[in-house]
Chains A and B, each alone.
Chain A
Amino acid sequence: KAGVTQTPRYLIKTRGQQVTLSCSPISGHRSVSWYQQTPGQGLQFLFEYFSETQRNKGNFPGRFSGRQFSNSRSEMNVSTLELGDSALYLCASSWTGGATNEKLFFGSGTQLSVL
């Protein structure tokens, strides 16, 4: 069974640009969450999608947005990139995300560098 797939693995952008990251969850998983990981702040929750609807959102500015498609694949978009957006962006999937004892499975992430 394939794991969570994130593309691309690496991205280099410049300030002011926008970027789109992609995530394909484990087959059958309908919940997709996104996290940002930096050396200074660690892993921080961005948002979670289920059935094409954003259910939960972390404390990030509106420049960070996402969407989920009918096949549960998800994309994350960051507009007007800032140097501080340089991070590893991780996607995680689970069956429904609604049960608090559900386990999350993470992808390998997209390493974004903003110059």
Chain B
Amino acid sequence: QKEVEQDPGPLSVPEGAIVSLNCTYSNSAFQYFMWYRQYSRKGPELLMYTYSSGNKEDGRFTAQVDKSSKYISLFIRDSQPSDSATYLCAMRTGGGADGLTFGKGTHLIIQP
């Protein structure tokens, strides 16, 4: 079992829909959680960074962390075709000595 599980998709939704992306993890030592967006032939771009359980909102994006269930989510409201990309969850332990552990990414397609 991999430390971080993420459905690779593709996930295809119509423009304007609410998108829900999720990751589960098994290592309870993970304390910091991130969501990255990666366009084709580009490096990952940090979207959201959270620490505590609960919700964090930034514009159309909301990150949710449930440490008791080892489950994190990213919600995208009013989705746009420009949101079409691969979304990667990432996490690190409190010590941070072993770099980030990534999910394999979910390929999201927003249909105009």
A residues sitting closer than 8 Å to B (CB atoms) are 4, 33, 35, 41-45, 48, 55-56, 58, 90, 92, 97-101, 103-109, 111
Contact = CB atoms under 8 A, between A and B. Distances in A.
> Top 5 nearest A-B pairs by Cβ distance?
A45-B99, A106-B43, A42-B104, A43-B102, A100-B96
A45 B102 CA distance: 9
Contact of A100 (B36, B92, B104): B92
Interface residues of B, number: 27
Dominant secondary structure of chain B at its interface with chain A: loop
Interface of B: 31-32, 36, 41-46, 49, 51, 88, 90, 92-105
B46 A104 contact: yes
Given A100-B32, A101-B32, A108-B41, A56 B99 contact: yes
B10 to A, nearest CB: 14
11 contacts: A35-B99, A35-B102, A41-B104, A42-B104, A42-B105, A43-B44, A55-B97, A92-B43, A99-B96, A103-B49, A111-B41
A80 to B, nearest CB: 24
